[in-house]
Structure 1
């Protein structure tokens, strides 16, 4: 075996080994690339899933917020309508005249008088515009006198020194009681669903 043959064998072995290493390197590189692509696909799927969940969560939050805001606006509108109705009723009560006003005022004085059966002097307060009306009604009651004006829509406030009771039978107080007792029904009629 000559030196040339040995060199040639070593060269062939080196080439074969180099080819083997190159093939192993390419194979390993393909594995690494494939794993990286698989990892990238998983990361992409996870990112897309997270993004979709965040979008859905944000959509739900906005929808919930919009529903709440709409509900609040409906409630505000209902309160405004109820307030307008109440103001209208108060205006109607304040503007009552003639027999209707007299009948209502007389009934309120009569109801109040039950609390003051044994009193010598009973003071009755009422709306300034109703002074004459109240005085004429009080002519039917012994010991009753118009005392002074009371800021109200109408009706009377009655008190006596002999009693610790003060009876508020104004249109305002009656309206308040009726309003509170019937608010749900009033609301249902106004906002039938």
Structure 2
């Protein structure tokens, strides 16, 4: 074998080895690129899922907040409506006059009388506009007298120092009691729940 043949064989072998290394490198590069693309696709998908989840969470929070705000506004509107109804009721009760006012006041006095001994000295307080009515009605109760003005819609506050009893039978207290007892029905009727 000649030196040229040996050199040519070494070159061929080197070329073959270089080609093999190049093919292995290209194959490995394709694997790396394929893995990188798969990783990138996985990362993009993961981020998209995270963003979708965050958007859904924020949407739910916004919806929940809006529902809560709406509920609070609805409750406030109902509270305002009930307050207007109560104010209207108090105005109508304060405007009761004549025989009806006398009947109601007498009934409240009779009810209060049940709490006092017959011999007790009793002081009665009422609305300034009802002083004459109360004075007339109290002439029927022995030991009872008009003692002064009470800031109320009508009715009476009856007290006896000897028995240490005080009875609030004002229209205000009756309204308060009835209002507390009937609030649910009033609300249901107003708002058709």
**What's the TM-score bracket when you normalise by the shorter of the two chains?**
over 0.9
Deviation at 1:117? 2.8
Task: State the distance in 2 between where 1:97 and 1:103 align.
Answer: 10
Question: Which SS does the other structure have where 1:118 is aligned?
Answer: coil
Q: Are the equivalent residues in 2 in contact too, given 1:121–1:143 (CA < 8 A)?
A: yes
1:33 correspondence with 2:37? no
Partner of 2:192: 192
TM norm structure 2: 0.97
Task: State the distance in 2 between where 1:104 and 1:128 align.
Answer: 16
Question: Which SS does the other structure have where 2:147 is aligned?
Answer: strand
**Higher deviation after alignment, 175-184 or 110-119:** 110-119
Partner of 2:100: 100
Deviation at 1:176? 0.3
Question: Which SS does the other structure have where 2:115 is aligned?
Answer: helix
1:147 correspondence with 2:162? no
Task: State the distance in 1 between where 2:139 and 2:24 align.
Answer: 123
For structure 2, the residue ranges without an aligned partner over 5 or more in a row are: none
Q: Are the equivalent residues in 2 in contact too, given 1:90–1:153 (CA < 8 A)?
A: yes
The alignment covers a number of residue pairs equal to 193
Q: Are the equivalent residues in 2 in contact too, given 1:106–1:137 (CA < 8 A)?
A: yes
Deviation at 1:32? 0.4
Q: Which runs of 4+ in 1 moved over 6 A?
A: none
Task: State the distance in 2 between where 1:139 and 1:118 align.
Answer: 14
1:1-193 matches, within 5 Å, as 1-193=1-193
Question: Which SS does the other structure have where 1:123 is aligned?
Answer: strand
Deviation at 1:120? 3.2
Task: State the distance in 2 between where 1:23 and 1:153 align.
Answer: 105
Q: Are the equivalent residues in 1 in contact too, given 2:120–2:163 (CA < 8 A)?
A: no
TM norm structure 1: 0.97
